[in-house]
A and B are shown apart, each in its own frame.
Chain A
Amino acid sequence: MLLGKRGFELVERCALGDAMEINKDLIAASSTPIVLAILAEGDSYGYAILKRVRELSGGRMEWTDGMLYPVLHRLERLGYVEARWEVAESGRRRKYYRITSRGRAQLAEERRQWQAVDATLRGIWSALRIPVPAGDPVWAVPLPQGA
């Protein structure tokens, strides 16, 4: 099962990607609003949620795929989302998630908090006037806020 050169490149790109090293705590803290916001757009399932995260962040926010599911289960336990099993067009059973009214309330609350953090950071960045080094667009990526 040797990968060809092309395969390796793809592995590199897909698995490690152009993801930035975003601090674990930051990922953990932002996962709830991101997932809730994506589900607020419409019911979805794990793989599609991850795809949407990648799209929104332009590939810069890379989650370990498996880690999404415990997050979804936590949101389910807290009553922010509901899950149901459906048979997808592929014929496989698939678990879909839907945001609940409590989830929407939580999303609004998270959004308020993140906006406060964001506003504070923006303020301090502009006051510092330190140029962000090119090619390191960490700070340039707007966090998705309930898109």
Chain B
Amino acid sequence: MSSPENAATLEAQIGRWRSYLERRQAIRSVDVAELEDHLREQIAGLVEAGLAADEAFLVAVKRLGELDAISREFAREHSDRLWKQFVTAPTDAGEPQTAVRTDAIVAFGLAVAAAVAVKVPALFGLDLNQHAGFYLRNAGLFVLPLLTGYFVWKRRPDPVTLRWLAVAFIAAAVFANVYPFAPHVPGSSTHDPGNTEMLTVLHLPIALWLVVGVAYAGGRWGQVSGRMDFIRFSGELFIYYVLIALGGGVLTGFMALIFESIGVDIEPFFESWLLPCGAAGGVIVAAWLVEAKQSVIENMAPVLARLFTPFFAAVLITFLGTLVWTGRGIDIERDVLIAFDLILVVVLGLLLYSVSAREATAPPGIFDVLQVVLLVSALLVDAVALWAIAARITEFGFTPNRVAALGENVILLVNLAWSAALYTRFLRRRGSFTDLERWQTNYLPVYAVWAAIVVIVFPPVFGYI
């Protein structure tokens, strides 16, 4: 009855219809399969009655009814589906259930391994209280290799990449532990970390995060989309981690409360077990959650970025206005640079996560204008601060902290200034939005390289103080 090419067009039509249906939130893929079976049987019946295949398709689709109406009925029956539920085990038949379970088992195994790794040095006499510096310097090394391992297991990168990942971690372990860092207070027994040691503590995880990114991208690191996915992943991971930490705080408070009632102090247990092990394992659990739910739940970081961009822009503009109106100078304290670095980091985050969720082909809108306002006001605020600091930098002297903070400020400033330029070009329709995406994703290694320089070069240059 129907020629092969007729059958092919019919299949294409059914395929289009199916993909249209699959976009409906309330209609799951099993329901689509059920409706498709119906549609095909209807078409077969109509073809038998003498209709051509395309006519039969039209009639069958029409009989099924308005998709909007059907979708509404489905939504009424399954109102829960409009709330995207996070289920680790798919209930839909036909999905690879074992793969999901294996993934969960591997992730939790690695989380436990990370928790154990934190306690391993204690077996060799390195107590957490006595050797706080050692634990802080190696904090990233307890967790990030295992996190990288998780992505290596998931993405199976090629052997060359694998070798480089291993080299990076070994190098990190070497530089974290070979330098003879001086304690903060000379001669004290508690060994509070000194200046350059603290810089290592803060910068090593930043450098290693890039290594995690390479493993996460799994061969797509060279592409803008691969790096952008890693940015999205990082934002979601941060939010999940904060949520897990909040949950952990509630758990701890509850534990402390009930054990106190029977006269048991949980603080020693909390300090040496629950907090370090939980903090380490939590990273991997959070990463697994982000992986498992990325297509199930809307990304939160862009939502927060959109929500707070107007507020941050308003605060910065008001600050600039007040500065001009009152004629006050910025009171340059010793640590003021770090505060301005943090402002730039926040603005960069707002920009990055707005960019990550924006449809590149959409025309410029009011929110894009707001982004540029935010960028420009942040740049002006930072310029004022830098100018004030530059005037007095010789007076303060070049301590390692100040040089590191200054370097970061310059790096962020360059990024945001060029982003503002690219964004303005996009607003004036002289450039495309993908230029901004490419710029942001290409810039990622710069942070890691600077962090690596701080870890590797700063301690010897500044005499391990």
Contact = CB atoms under 8 A, between A and B. Distances in A.
Interface residues of A, number: 28
Interface of A: 1, 3-4, 6-7, 10-11, 14-15, 45-47, 64-67, 69-70, 73-74, 77, 85, 88, 90, 92-95
Given A46-B38, A73-B78, A77-B77, A67 B70 contact: yes
Contacts of B37: 45-47, 88, 92-95
Nearest to A16: B62
B65 A64 contact: yes
B254 to A, nearest CB: 36
Contacts of B40: 90, 92
Nearest to A51: B45
A67 B74 CA distance: 9
B216 to A, nearest CB: 36
Contact of A95 (B34, B44, B62, B64): B34
Given A10-B46, A10-B51, A74-B77, A64 B58 contact: no
B63 A65 contact: yes
Contact of B64 (A4, A64, A85): A64
B93 interface: yes
Contact of B76 (A69, A70, A92): A70
B58 A65 contact: no
Contacts of B70: 64, 66-67, 69-70
B35 interface: yes
Given A47-B38, A65-B64, A69-B35, A10 B49 contact: yes
Contact of A11 (B30, B55, B65, B78): B55
Interface residues of B, number: 35
A85 B55 CA distance: 29
A60 B31 CA distance: 27
A46 B30 CA distance: 14
B58 A11 contact: yes
A contact patch SS: helix
A89 to B, nearest CB: 11
A14 B57 CA distance: 12
Nearest to A50: B38
Contacts of A47: 37-38, 41-42
A65 B42 contact: yes
Given A7-B52, A7-B55, A70-B73, A14 B63 contact: yes
A45 to B, nearest CB: 7
B192 interface: no
A11 B93 CA distance: 35
Nearest to B64: A66
B159 to A, nearest CB: 41
Contacts of A85: 93
B54 interface: yes
Interface of B: 30-31, 33-35, 37-38, 40-42, 44, 46, 49-52, 54-55, 58-59, 62-67, 69-70, 73-74, 76-78, 93-94
Contacts of A67: 65, 69-70, 73
A11 B76 CA distance: 29
Contacts, number: 88
A2 B371 CA distance: 50
A70 B386 CA distance: 64
A65 B59 contact: no
For the complex of A and B, 8 pairs with smallest distance between CB atoms = A64-B65, A66-B70, A70-B73, A66-B65, A66-B64, A70-B77, A7-B55, A47-B41
Contacts of A14: 46, 59, 63
A66 B74 CA distance: 10
A23 to B, nearest CB: 16
Nearest to A11: B59
29 contacts: A6-B50, A7-B55, A10-B59, A11-B55, A11-B58, A14-B46, A15-B62, A15-B63, A46-B34, A64-B63, A64-B70, A65-B38, A65-B63, A66-B65, A66-B70, A67-B69, A67-B70, A67-B73, A69-B31, A69-B35, A69-B70, A70-B70, A70-B74, A70-B76, A77-B77, A93-B33, A93-B37, A95-B30, A95-B37
Nearest to B78: A73
A1 B67 CA distance: 20
B42 A64 contact: no
A84 to B, nearest CB: 9
A90 B70 CA distance: 26
Contacts of A92: 37, 40
A65 B65 contact: yes
Contact of B54 (A1, A69, A77): A1
Given A65-B65, A66-B73, A94-B37, 15 more contacts: A7-B51, A10-B49, A10-B51, A10-B59, A11-B58, A15-B59, A45-B37, A64-B65, A64-B66, A66-B65, A67-B70, A67-B73, A73-B78, A92-B37, A93-B94
A90 B301 CA distance: 47
B408 to A, nearest CB: 56
